[in-house]
Structure formats: structure tokens, C-alpha cells
A = this chain, B = another copy of it.
Amino acid sequence: MRDAYHEELEAVSATLVEMANMAGVAMAKATIALQEANLSLAEEVIAADDAIDDLQHQLDAKVVDIMARQQPVAGDLRALVTSLRVSADLERMGDFAHHVARVARMRYPEKALPPELTVVVGELGSAAQRIVSKTAYILQTKDAETALELERDDDEVDRLHRQLFRILLDPSWSHGIENAIDTTLIGRYYERFADHAVSVGRRVHYLVTGAYSSKSE
């Protein structure tokens, strides 16, 4: 049965999927901006972050409005509270894409990354895309099994993150402190982007199954 109330709940869900897609596009562009020192892409990502933030504010206001008007039963209430948390995670994922783009813009017309980091950051970018696509899928389908896969995908990000530090700490590193600072922060931005995706997966998993998938950070 489709009544106005359930249409509202579905609209909340659809907005979360849209936010996940926006965060994914932003991180894809930010990765290219970083790799190519592409200023216009970096500017696009930085400008688009406001749109994700606005969508979060609208969604959160909508959710509180539904809670106030509809007096939802416990199950729907838990789903709505989860939506608020998921929207905060997705907004934060958009922030990390924005942070990556800002590093690219700050170093323009130079490339922020020395050549020996191109491959590993490219792989971090690919891993981030895999994870955020899966996040959008999970939000759409509420598939608790796929939500569990995000933990393994995140292990891959952690592996790449450690590889980044190994390159930085290799005695052959010749790019100085400023590049090391940029790289440290960039690595953290990808890692945190993935962490928030895992957090979304855990929240959906818990909502659907009532069981925590594993200890959160």
C-alpha cells in the first residue's frame, strides 16, 4: 500500500542514494584533479560540496518534520534516526572529496603528487569508487549481506594507505616535507571517506538485522 506517509519515507531513502552518488562523483573528480593537476575539476568539486551540504540540511529538516507530524511507530522511527546518521556520514564523505580537491587546487599548476605516488593514489581512488557505489546500492536495496562486504573493501583501502606511508618513509623519498604533509593528509582523506562508507553499511546492517556487524571505530 502506497500512502502519503510511505511515499515520504521512500523519498528520504531516495535522497540518501542521491547524496551517495554525489559524494562518489565528487571523489572521482577530485582524484582526477589530483592526478592531472586539473584546476577546473578541482573547482567543480569544491563548488559542488555546498550542494551536498544543502541536501543534507533539507533532508534532516524533512526527517524531523516527518517525526513530528507522523508519530512513527518504533520501527519507522529507528529507520528515520538511521537516516539522520547516514546523511551525516554521506555529507562527511563529500567533505573529504572537497579536501582532496583543495590540495589539488592549492598546488596548481604543479601536481600535488610526485610520480611514485600516482599508482597507489589511483588505486585509492578506484577503491573509493567501488565502496561508494556499493554504499549507494545498499541504501537503495537495504541489502544487509552486501553491507558486510564493505568491511573487506575497507581492508583494501587500509592496505593501500599503508603502502602510501611505505613510499613516504622509503629512504629514496626525495620530495621533501611539504609533499609528505600533502600525501599524509590525502591518504587520511581517502581512508576516512571509506570509513564513513563502512559506517553507512553498519547502520543499514543493524537496521535490517538488529545485529551489529562489528565494533565501530
Contacts and interface: CB of A to CB of B under 8 A. Distances in A.
Contact of A177 (B60, B74, B177, B188): B177
Q: Interface on chain A toward B: helix, strand, loop, or mixed SS?
A: helix
Interface stretch (A11-19, A23-31, A77-85, A119-127): A77-85
Interface stretch (A1-9, A39-47, A64-72, A136-144): A64-72
Interface string A69-101: 001011001100100110010000001000000
A180 interface: yes
A77 B64 contact: yes
Contact of A77 (B67, B168, B178): B67
Contacts of A60: 81
B85 A64 contact: no
Contact of A68 (B53, B77, B180): B77
Given A64-B77, A67-B77, A95-B217, A177 B185 contact: no
Contact of A64 (B64, B81, B178, B185): B81
Contacts of A168: 177, 181
Interface in A20-66: 53, 60, 64
Nearest to A185: B184
A81 B78 contact: no
A152 to B, nearest CB: 23
A81 B64 CA distance: 8
Nearest to A49: B217
A42 to B, nearest CB: 18
A62 to B, nearest CB: 12
Contact of A180 (B77, B85, B177, B188): B177
